[in-house]
Amino acid sequence: MFEGFTTEKIAVENATLNVRHGGIGPAILLLHGHPRTGATWHRIAPQLIDAGSTVICPDLTGYGQSVGREPKDDHSSHSKRAVATDMVQLMETLGHDKFHLVGHDRGSYVALRLALDYSSRIDRLVLLDCIPISEHLARADARFATAWWHWFFFAQPEIPERVINADPDRWYTGSADAMGEENYAEWREATRKPKVIRAMLEDYRAGLTIDREHEEADKAAGRRLDMPLLTLWSLHDDLEDLYGDPLRIWKDWATDVRGFGIDTGHHMAEEVPDDLARELLSFLTGGAH
């Protein structure tokens, strides 16, 4: 897994980040989702490198082997703004002032915040299985609450930590066959660390509070993504079922947006890596679908 990559711990102002990076060419930062680590990209990253890119795959702050701040009552230490700043500092340390950005699931919310706060750094943006958190919450009805109940469970103080840490194997499901043995082993080790569980839950707590406030302030101020945006979603997941065409939502946030559904389940980088790599390369190298 990640043959030829450099794996190291890099200290930024408020975190120490576990990161894999390699290749020569335009830089692509890949941000994973919950409850994965940067290893989720192991079937994608080599294809991007073979196509002439530099690829950077960190564990998000607090996830995997990345260690960040202690939680705060207002959840600001785990806000998408805080984590996005960590990622910008990581890229600066690696010598990349401007780069392409890809985010999936929780990593897509970090990517959105990074693109809004540091727009001059981003050439092209890809958001996978994503609409803004504030757009989810503005549409939250009984169907959403039933399908995405974990958002509200994770927001409760202390209870989800006790439930998850009591039996991580029952809570988190995955398999070595589907994920790849090394990716699975890394993910399984991470989900057995109480500090990682706490950080992942704080990610969700921030989402319902400070992250939502930041997004609503952006929308009220008329801030928009000014770089080309590609959004892809899993046809076997429920984004279309809940909202119809996600592009209709994204057109309120981005000037240049395109996207479509992919025939896959939620963890698309693991399930359909060849299809996803092809679409990423087409878009990031200037093509259009």
| Catalytic machinery residues | 105, 266
Pairing mode, strands 15-23 and 6-12 = antiparallel
Task: Give the whole-angstrom CA distance, residue 202 versus residue 73.
Answer: 10
The helix/strand/coil state of 133 is helix
Strands (E), the chain: 6-12, 15-23, 27-31, 54-58, 99-104, 122-128, 229-234, 257-262
Burial 93-103 (b: 16+ CB within 10 A, else e): ebebeebbbbb
Amino acid type, 30 = L
Task: Give the whole-angstrom CA distance, residue 69 versus residue 62.
Answer: 8
